[in-house]
Amino acid sequence: MELTTQHLIALLPLLVTCATIVVVMLAIAWRRHHSQTFVLSVVGLNLALLSIIPALKVAPLAVTGLLQIDSYACFYIGLILAATLACVTLAHAYLGGEGDSGPGFPGNREEFYLLILLAAAGGIVLVSAQHLAGLFIGLELLSVPVYGLVAYAFFNKRSLEAGIKYMVLSAAGSAFLLFGMALLYADAGTLSFAGLGSKLSASGQLSQLVHLGVGMMLVGLAFKLSMVPFHLWTPDVYEGAPAPVAAFLATASKVAVFAVLLRLYQLSPALAGGWLSDLLSLIAIASILIGNLLALTQTNIKRLLGYSSIAHFGYLLVALIASNGMAVEAIGVYLTTYVLTSLGAFGVVTLMSTPFHGRDCDALYEYRGLFWRRPTLTAVMTLMMLSLAGIPLTAGFIGKFYIIAVGVEAHLWWLLGSLIIGSAIGVFYYLRVMVTLFLVTPGLHRHDAPENWGQRAGGIMLMAIAALTLLLGVYPQPLLELLQHTALTAL
């Protein structure tokens, strides 16, 4: 097909992100400077966010057979770019601890930004995909840089182990996904989402090849989303990865995969219902209960947040299975609130940590009495825990309320029962983190002075996240209107 100006405008967010990658790469080749690389990355990501506005004006528009740029894609592109921007800001505070141009980091810091930008470009391709080939290209472009990011603190044994573990298991998940696509193509003769839906609907009875292909694709996608029983990598990788990478993995990476799963589920209705809904229900219940129960035993905050993310994506499956009425809107609301709260929680861990002195500051005992040392970080962490628990007046409550409303509308009583039980268990371990923050330890002095401007920028961003979490909890109307007028028009 011939690319026109409109197609290029529609692709602007992806093109600007890719141009930023090239500029950052050339800047690193010309002169290594940590702050310069950070500034270039931030400027590029902000320009990419702004470029969504002209892209929306020409949407919906199919760009080749692989990508569909519409308001649904633009919403999730914005979410991924905003999460990446937050992670880049956290990374600068995290990596800049020993003097900005000093030799403290036993390796090169600048390539970190290059890898995270590459992963963001993969996320943009993924949420715009309308074809299984586009899905696979986006998924690999998202996953491969993350292998390097997870193992970036290579001098730390845990980081290196997490990177190797994630790479090997992710490759196995990708193999399942690719083989599942091949089986679907063998039966339907097409790889486009809409084509698959129409071909399979027309044939009426689904063949064994289709059942096997859908099952294998589900294994691949469930691995990326760390659903039970494909969740075993999650706590180890979250614990071993540098804190900003764990934040990216928990937010932008998972949002991109869930967004494409939702589009595939909506555009190929023949694949929905029947045994697939029963299987997804079983996975959802297992993810909610096992994720929350395993989080109960954790004394490491990153592992706790890892198990918590398994449960949260179990909640999201409730809306995916319902797939009617407000389901798409509910998923948009929940993913937005989840991204906000996860970035805030991992952000506090990031600002408490440095790669220059061994492992990250992620053990629960290290947060004992944090209120008396860093009251601002304590306030942010407390609010994030309340939001993750779904307490009223926080963004998390709005997200959970919408999921429950969709479940009630679809009469998914077993799923709602597990959601309520899981939420009750979750309140206990979130409260345990909060109580630890306020415990008094003798001899502590009040102190909340950031060490450098990178830390200060990270602190300002965390305060903005906290303010937005409260604002969405009290007044969610702008987000709801945005989802109604843009994200829903695509489906």
Q: What is the pLDDT along the chain (491 residues), one digit of tens a residue?
A: 678 889 899 999 999 999 999 999 999 999 888 889 999 999 999 999 999 999 998 878 888 889 989 888 999 999 999 999 999 999 998 887 544 444 445 568 889 999 999 999 999 999 999 999 999 999 999 999 999 999 998 888 888 999 999 999 999 999 999 999 999 899 888 888 888 888 777 766 778 888 888 889 999 999 999 998 888 899 999 999 999 999 999 999 999 999 999 888 877 765 666 778 888 999 999 999 999 999 999 999 999 999 999 999 999 999 998 877 788 899 999 999 999 999 999 999 999 887 777 778 888 888 888 888 888 899 999 999 999 999 999 999 999 999 999 999 888 899 999 999 999 999 999 999 999 998 876 555 554 444 555 577 888 899 999 999 999 999 999 888 888 876 455 44
What pLDDT score was predicted for residue 284?
94
- Residue 62: phi, psi to the nearest 5? -85, 125
Tokens representing 356 are 């220059």
Rounded Cα–Cα distance for residues 285 and 227 (Å):
10
What pLDDT score was predicted for residue 269?
62
By residue range, what is the domain housing residue 114? 5-487
Residues whose CB falls within 8 Å of the CB of residue 97, separated by 6 or more in sequence, listed in order: 104, 354, 355, 356, 451, 452
Contact assessment for residue 142 and residue 135, using Cβ atoms and an 8 Å cutoff: no
CA angle 178, 151, 352 (to 5 degrees): 125
CA angle 327, 329, 330 (to 5 degrees): 65
What pLDDT score was predicted for residue 101?
43
What pLDDT score was predicted for residue 440?
75
Rounded Cα–Cα distance for residues 328 and 173 (Å):
26
Q: Is the peptide bond before 229 cis (omega within 30 degrees of 0)?
A: yes
Rounded Cα–Cα distance for residues 317 and 280 (Å):
7
Rounded Cα–Cα distance for residues 233 and 252 (Å):
18
CA 181 to chain CA mean position, Å? 24
3-state DSSP assignment of residue 491: coil
Rounded Cα–Cα distance for residues 357 and 350 (Å):
13
Rounded Cα–Cα distance for residues 86 and 466 (Å):
13
**Count of the separate structural domains present in the chain:** 1
Rounded Cα–Cα distance for residues 114 and 119 (Å):
9
What pLDDT score was predicted for residue 442?
58
What pLDDT score was predicted for residue 386?
95
What pLDDT score was predicted for residue 205?
72
